[in-house]
């Protein structure tokens, strides 16, 4: 800054968006959408435990089923299912924007366009299933 530069005007700090994070319904939906990750992670932990029990034999599997039949686990499962359904619905609503007729100034890829949306998600799910199968002792 030169010696003759005007001093910087004092400013008031930026304010967060009005109604953020839970005072406005669209922000509430967004926060709820983000919160689904916690509940889906819980579901995944349960799934991992089940796969692990499956790999250890019938007794372990039956024990897992008995634990899952307890009332609090049933309630948790319903909550996880609810959040998962909410995630899927919102993702389907906002995710439709991801598909593009043409993506970037690059040659049109050889895959049919619908596959461009399915391929990454399908790949992600496949990797997860393989990983879970390995962890569950079904593979390797």
The residues binding another protein (CB under 8 A) are 9-21, 24, 26-27, 30, 34, 94-95, 97-98, 100-107, 109, 111, 116, 119-120, 123
Task: Report yes or no: 138 and 53 within 8 Å, Cβ to Cβ.
Answer: no
98 or 134: CB nearest another protein: 98
Q: How far is the CB of 138 from another protein (least distance, A)?
A: 26
Task: Report yes or no: 82 and 40 within 8 Å, Cβ to Cβ.
Answer: no
Rounded CA gap, 91 and 18, in Å?
A: 24
Q: How far is the CB of 24 from another protein (least distance, A)?
A: 7
Q: How far is the CB of 28 from another protein (least distance, A)?
A: 11
78 or 89: CB nearest another protein: 89
Q: Of 50, 74, 58, 61, nearest to 136 (Cα)?
A: 50
Which helix (H) or strand (E) covers residue 57, if one does? none
């Amino acid at each position: 800054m030169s010696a003759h530069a005007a001093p910087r005007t004092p400013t008031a700090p930026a304010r967060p968006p009005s109604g953020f994070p839970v005072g406005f319904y669209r922000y509430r939906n967004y926060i709820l959408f983000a919160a689904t990750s916690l509940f889906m992670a819980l579901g995944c932990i349960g799934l991992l435990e089940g796969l692990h029990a499956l790999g250890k034999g019938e007794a372990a599997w039956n024990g897992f089923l008995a634990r899952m039949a307890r009332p609090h686990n049933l309630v948790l499962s319903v909550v996880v299912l609810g959040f998962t359904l909410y995630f899927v619905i919102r993702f389907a609503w906002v995710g439709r924007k991801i598909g593009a007729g043409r993506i970037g100034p690059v040659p049109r890829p050889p895959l049919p366009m619908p596959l461009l949306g399915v391929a990454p998600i399908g790949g992600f799910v496949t990797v997860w299933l393989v990983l879970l199968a390995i962890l569950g002792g079904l593979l390797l």
